[in-house]
Amino acid sequence: MESVALKRGMVLGMAHEPVDYAYFPIDAVFSLTGTTLDGLSVEVGMVGYEGYLGLPILFGKPIHPYQATVQHHGSAWRIPGEVLQNALHTSSSLREQLLRYTSFRFVQLAQSAVCHRFHSLEQRLSRWLLSMHDRVRADEIHLTHEGLAQLIGCRRPTINMIMNGLKKAGTVDSRRGSMVILDRKALEKRACECYVIIAQSIRDLLKSSRLSSS
């Protein structure tokens, strides 16, 4: 494995293309997005320090199902897909750890589908900000309103309207190219239950990983 520095906006994998490398984020955060034939896209998953990018390697079919983009700059461990695949055959503990994360990813994808179908844009936006806040572990999140609109799956004017409401409530503030979380507790009240479900799944994942390694 080698340590790599990743810049925001870097594309680490394109949908339906081979998985050349697996990435284990240290403080970087990745967005997984699905795209329609019309070019519309929406985020279906987020990967931070709790997981890794390269899940198809585990199942012997190393093809990216979604586009993977660096959402927050930072560092990660990178390993060639073939090397990781060989390691999975020789290390049962590694295979078990990655299978645990696979279970979490299923929860994340399923909850994302529920969220997009039943919850309001403000709830979804609040959930996204909280999820990113957990992984970045800093109050400032570098992202434009345009970028956030693409991830949430709506138009920029709608994001502007919601963000203005959050700013008036003193929950968040926005700067050029970034957003700052001012009142996390208030943001949690505006988010849907999907945030709690996914966050608890991450805590369970990390707890089980620590128990298995002790």
Q: What is the pLDDT of residues 11-31, one digit of tens each?
A: 999 999 999 999 999 999 999
Q: What is the mean pLDDT of the chain?
A: 94
Please list the residue range(s) of the chain that carry CATH number 2.60.120.10: 2-117
- Over residues 52-57, mean pLDDT: 95
CA atoms within 13 A on the CB side of 10: 16
pLDDT at 213 over 70: no
- List every span in the chain annotated with CATH 1.10.10.10: 120-191
152-196 pLDDT, tens digit each: 989 999 999 999 999 999 999 988 889 999 999 999 999 999 999
Q: Which residue has the higher pLDDT, 3 or 36?
A: 3
Following DSSP, what letter does each residue of 182-203 receive, concatenated?
S-HHHHHHHS-HHHHHHHHHHH
pTM: 0.93
pLDDT of residue 149: 93
Quote the CATH superfamily of domain 2-117.
Jelly Rolls (2.60.120.10)
pLDDT digits (tens, 9 = 90+) for 108-153: 999 999 999 999 999 999 999 999 999 999 999 999 999 999 999 8
Side-by-side strand order, sheet with 21-25: 2-6, 74-80, 21-25
- CA dist 90 and 74 (Å) reads 30
Fold of 120-191: Arc Repressor Mutant, subunit A (1.10.10)
**In whole angstroms, what is the distance from residue 69 CA to residue 166 CA?**
27
| One-character DSSP codes across 14-75 | -TTSB--EEEEESS-EEEEEEE-TTS-EEEEEEE-TT--B-GGGGGT--B-SSEEEEEE-EE
